[in-house]
Chain A
Amino acid sequence: MDWTALRLSLELALVTVAVLLPVGVLLGRTLAFHRFPGRGLVEALVALPLVLPPTVLGFYLLAAFGAASPLGRLAEALLGRPLVFSFEGLVLASVIANLPFAVQPVQRGFEAIGVELRDAAAACGMPPLVRFLRVELPLAWPAIATGLVLVFAHTMGEFGVVLMVGGSIPGETRTVAIAIYDRVQAFDDRGAALLSAVLLAVALVAILATFGFSRRVGRRLG
């Protein structure tokens, strides 16, 4: 069992979830409640990683993170080392690749609250922050949790983007999915099977959890 790869995948997934929680809530809520010029474009960009082949996404991220790009130079100045083939680079790539998984369920969750309930909260004298904390979040949290579970599971299994941006450096960028590929390449079927079983379990639990959350949403708003 490749514990290093498993630990790395868990770290990557948890950090991605931690970054995408505020980003997803902010972006999802904005898209749900506000009409602004360019909203359609933002929605399309958020959804893009869903349809783009991971290798293509990875290729562009690789180019964007490279020493030739402004972002790559900035990161290198800040981190003291290149963004590509680093854990930090993986996190950034993973956050971008997982945007739709975080934003879309959250957006649907806030949309389901409806104008009337939000108006009611305002008419009850609640200032905006209180409305968010006492009405919006309690009603949207199953959707937020669904988004985070999807992000976690998806990050655990992400292959194409990780390989393109991170390569396969043990302890730095070799995640479970990459390790499985390496094991198969090395004819280590048993090692590949073990790691695959771990990812299977993660995926199953994630699906069960999201179904549970959506039932909860149905009960509440139904």
Chain B
Amino acid sequence: MSAGAGLRVELRQEAPIPLAVELACAPGELTALVGPSGSGKTTILKAIAGLYRPRQGRVAVDGEVWLDGAGRIALPAHRRRVGLVFQSFALFPHLSALGNVAAAMGHLPRAERTGRARELLRLVHLEGLEGRRPAELSGGQQQRVAVARALARDPAVLLLDEPFSAVDRATRQRLYREIAELRRILGMPVLLVTHDLEEAMLLADRMTVLHRGRTLQSGTPLEVTTRPASAEVARLVDVGNLFAARIAGRDADAERVLLDWHGRPLEARGRPPWPVGARVAWVIPDGFVVLHRRDRPSRGEHENPVPGRIEQMVVLGQTARLTLRPAHAPELPIRFSVPLHVARRNGLAAGVEASVSLLAEGIHLMAEAEDGRAPP
């Protein structure tokens, strides 16, 4: 990626909405902006599109500067080549599907607009419905018109504001596949605002976590969800199994750290910056919690074993979601899942004794929460 390619955004202000945002999105890449409602996701999209003017900031796309607080550049929305899909789609109710798409083609000669609009509607699988008004289309169809309209200006960047929240689940699955396919064809930066983590995991190459207008972490969805930058991020992306511990010892050469987790020794990997005795937060994602076979012991059980009692088993399809109360600290439940057949074979049920290994490579250490909410 050359220096200016793709989208680069930097926004800063204290009031009225605090913003401290830094993000980048390469051409052809899909970046998901995730965060709870009120975290400033939509404001960021609006600032990129020119519909909201932050006090300070810089927005550049492929080297072209759209906003520069210092240089006093602020292109109006209609001069920024963005494709924006609104959460409610915001289709023009008085225009047909074709009219909606053609309405965004002011840059093309009149004669070419209808043909191109038809092409785009075909691209989103709406051929035959060109003449329908938005009120005569289903939610999923409206969403496609909105996508076609967003593409109609030949945008340099595509912005999607929770575009799947207003359609039913089955339609959403189909639209996911289509967005993934479109992204491959288009080769432009795509920003997807969502509060749905699964959606972000499914669609995004990169993920930026936002909270109260601040970007807390950017990385691949896997990085963010297995190696959150802070306890705050861990909580926001719902990693689960977020705990506190004390550094009990360290072996820098072997990249080993010993933790004291409420009296239970645990071993983790890496060379963390904290001294012995420091309190840290740690997480272990679901996939690194391994159930010990209850009929006979097997290999790997010496790695951070935690005995306890199964408190709850919830069966979701072919997966059993389990909550284990550790014997040494029953107030700190560990949540993990196993395939249903594994749960059955091991006779798991609420109330039975079981033990797990917390794989050292899955234990991720973080500074104690900055927001004052210490993990248990």
Contacts and interface: CB of A to CB of B under 8 A. Distances in A.
Contact of A130 (B49, B84, B106): B106
A215 to B, nearest CB: 14
A80 interface: no
Contacts of B153: 124-125
Interface in B149-190: 149-150, 152-153
Interface residues of A, number: 22
Contact of B94 (A116, A124, A126, A220): A220
B21 interface: no
A138 interface: yes
A116 B86 contact: yes
A196 B54 CA distance: 60
Nearest to A137: B94
Contacts of B49: 119, 122-123
A122 B76 contact: yes
Contacts of B76: 122
A126 B103 contact: yes
Nearest to B149: A124
A117 B149 CA distance: 13
A7 interface: no
A128 B88 CA distance: 22
B302 interface: no
A120 B90 contact: yes
Interface in B238-279: none
Contacts of A51: none
Contact of B77 (A116, A123, A139): A123
Given A116-B86, A116-B88, A119-B46, A124 B93 contact: no
Contacts, number: 68
B93 A139 contact: yes
B275 to A, nearest CB: 52
Contacts of B79: 125
Contact of B84 (A123, A131, A135, A222): A123
A123 B82 contact: yes
A41 interface: no
A25 B103 CA distance: 23
Contacts of B132: none
Interface in B99-130: 103-104, 106-107
Contacts of B6: none
Nearest to B153: A125
B92 A117 contact: yes
A128 B51 CA distance: 13
Contacts of A117: 90, 92
B228 interface: no
A120 B86 contact: yes
Interface string A5-46: 000000000000000000000000000000000000000000
Contacts of B83: 123
A169 interface: no
Contacts of A78: none
Interface size band for B: 20 to 34
A68 interface: no
B50 interface: yes
A123 to B, nearest CB: 4
Contacts of A134: 103
Given A117-B92, A119-B51, A124 B152 contact: yes
Contacts of A128: 78
Nearest to B81: A125
A202 interface: no
Interface in A200-222: 219-222
Contact of A116 (B78, B90, B104, B150): B90
A124 B50 CA distance: 12
B94 A125 contact: no
A123 B45 CA distance: 11
B106 A126 contact: yes
A73 to B, nearest CB: 45
A91 B82 CA distance: 48
B104 A125 contact: yes
B212 to A, nearest CB: 23
A130 B110 CA distance: 14
B90 A119 contact: yes
B106 A122 contact: no
A124 B88 contact: no
Contacts of A127: 78, 106
A122 B50 contact: yes
Interface string A83-121: 000000000000000000000000000000000110111
Interface of B: 46, 49-51, 76-79, 81-84, 86, 88, 90-94, 103-104, 106-107, 135, 149-150, 152-153
13 contacts: A117-B92, A119-B49, A119-B77, A120-B84, A120-B92, A121-B92, A123-B82, A123-B150, A124-B103, A124-B153, A126-B104, A134-B103, A220-B93
Given A121-B92, A139-B92, 7 more contacts: A122-B51, A123-B51, A124-B104, A126-B106, A135-B103, A139-B94, A219-B135
